[in-house]
């Protein structure tokens, strides 16, 4: 199931995202005793991260039962300005108490293939007793203006049976060597939440949600959960081309 919600401002989107993340976390805790989520990088989730460590979310959030992973990481050391881990550390982990073992970062300081393999190992160790790989309660995702999500980029085909993948891709001025979760893992998540803001994403959002199936060009179309809901939260002009695209489809 896909649910699109549009917000007039980024602040409204952030608040709705924080409400959803908290609700998913509490439900996961009640049902399975822990909350497994994969964070995204990029600038868009920063406001959400900051909200979660402030009231009213902070004291309701099950921090010690939450396990943090990433949908992707840039291959830079963990204290580099381009590191997705560093972003989350500064926005979240520096502000709330989380057991170190609950933070399963992608080791961006390692050579690409090693980092991908090491992360696959962390995933395997976090799987439930009857699972080979963990099922995330939530994967948080962004959308690039080129249609990428996590580090699934246009023109690349992720292997169907590998959980993680090392890729090289240029986007804006960001580090190009990356490790990403593959659709095999992402699509087992129980919930996915895309946060998409800004007019520069409008064409990509319209193509992903209302255009013909073309995951090679718009890799965000590869996200199709086996079960559960994929939320698309859009604000600040990112949904401007959607209506026309739906009408044209
Ligand atoms: C990353 C990402 C990536 C990101 C998009 C959107 O590490 O770069 O996880 O997929 O979500 O590029 O980035 P913005 O939020 O900055 O637009």
**Spatial distance between the Cα atoms of 139 and 19, rounded to a whole number of angstroms:** 15
- pLDDT surpasses 90 at 202: yes
* 103 burial type by CB count under 10 A (0-12 exposed, 13-18 middle, 19+ buried): middle
**pLDDT tens-digit series, residues 81-104:** 999 999 999 999 999 999 999 999
**pLDDT tens-digit series, residues 209-248:** 999 999 999 999 999 999 999 999 999 999 999 987 776 7
List the one residue out of 190, 147, 243 whose CA is nearest residue 38: 190
31 Cα–ligand 1 center, Å: 30
The confidence score (pLDDT) of residue 243 equals 81
* Mean confidence (pLDDT) of the chain: 97
- pLDDT surpasses 90 at 119: yes
Q: Which residues contact 126 (CB under 8 A, 6 or more apart)?
A: 36, 67, 69, 104, 134
Residue 91 per-residue DSSP state: I
Spatial strand order of the sheet with 191-197 comes to: 2-7, 229-235, 191-197, 138-142, 35-39, 66-70
Q: Which amino acid residue places its CA nearest to atom 1 of ligand 1?
A: 41
The confidence score (pLDDT) of residue 137 equals 98
The confidence score (pLDDT) of residue 246 equals 74
Question: In the structure, which protein residues have their CB atom closer than 6 angstroms to any atom of ligand 1?
Answer: 40-44, 71-72, 74, 84, 142, 144, 148-150, 171, 174
The confidence score (pLDDT) of residue 204 equals 98
Q: How far is CA 176 from CA 72, 82, 110, 153, 220, in A?
A: 12, 10, 14, 11, 18
Band (pLDDT 50/70/90 cuts) for residue 31 is very high
Q: How far is CA 104 from CA 25, 113, 163, 183, in A?
A: 17, 17, 15, 19
- pLDDT surpasses 90 at 11: yes
179 Cα–ligand 1 center, Å: 13
The confidence score (pLDDT) of residue 244 equals 78
184 Cα–ligand 1 center, Å: 20
Q: Please report the atom of ligand 1 found closest to the CA of residue 174.
A: 8
Band (pLDDT 50/70/90 cuts) for residue 111 is very high
Rounded-to-10 torsion of CA 185, 169, 209, 51: 70
39 Cα–ligand 1 center, Å: 11
**pLDDT tens-digit series, residues 39-56:** 999 999 999 999 999 999
First to last CA, the chain: 19
Backbone angles phi, psi at 56, to 5 degrees: -85, 5
Percent of the chain with pLDDT over 70: 99
**pLDDT tens-digit series, residues 139-176:** 999 999 999 999 999 999 999 999 999 999 999 999 99
- pLDDT surpasses 90 at 249: no
Check: CB of residue 108 under 8 Å from CB of residue 85: yes
Say how many CA atoms lie within 13 Å of 147 toward its Cβ: 22
Angle ∠(79,81,86) on CA atoms, nearest 5: 50
Backbone angles phi, psi at 173, to 5 degrees: -105, 30
List the one residue out of 166, 173, 176, 180 whose CA is nearest residue 219: 180
pTM, entire model = 0.97
Residue 64 pairs in a beta bridge with: none
């Amino acid at each position: 199931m896909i649910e699109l919600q549009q917000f007039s401002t980024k602040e409204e989107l952030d608040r709705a995202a924080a409400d959803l993340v908290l609700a998913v976390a509490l439900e996961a805790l009640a049902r399975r005793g822990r909350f497994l989520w994969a964070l995204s990088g990029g600038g868009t989730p920063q406001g959400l991260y900051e909200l979660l460590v402030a009231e009213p979310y902070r004291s309701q959030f099950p921090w010690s039962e939450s396990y943090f992973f990433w949908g992707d990481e840039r291959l830079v050391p963990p204290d580099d300005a381009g590191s997705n881990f560093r972003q989350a550390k500064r926005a979240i982990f520096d502000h709330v108490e989380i057991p170190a073992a609950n933070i399963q970062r992608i080791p961006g300081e390692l050579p690409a293939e090693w980092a991908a393999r090491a992360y696959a190992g962390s995933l395997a160790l976090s799987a439930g007793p009857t699972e080979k790989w963990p099922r995330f309660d939530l994967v948080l995702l962004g959308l690039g203006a080129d249609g990428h999500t996590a580090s699934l980029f246009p023109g690349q085909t992720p292997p169907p049976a590998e959980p993680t993948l090392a890729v090289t891709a240029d986007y804006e001025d960001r580090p190009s060597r990356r490790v990403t979760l593959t659709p095999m893992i992402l699509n087992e998540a129980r919930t996915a939440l895309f946060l998409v803001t800004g007019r520069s994403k409008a064409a990509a959002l319209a193509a992903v949600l209302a255009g013909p199936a073309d995951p090679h060009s718009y890799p965000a179309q590869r996200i199709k959960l086996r079960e559960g809901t994929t939320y698309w939260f859009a604000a600040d002009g990112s949904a401007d081309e959607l209506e026309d695209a739906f009408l044209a489809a």
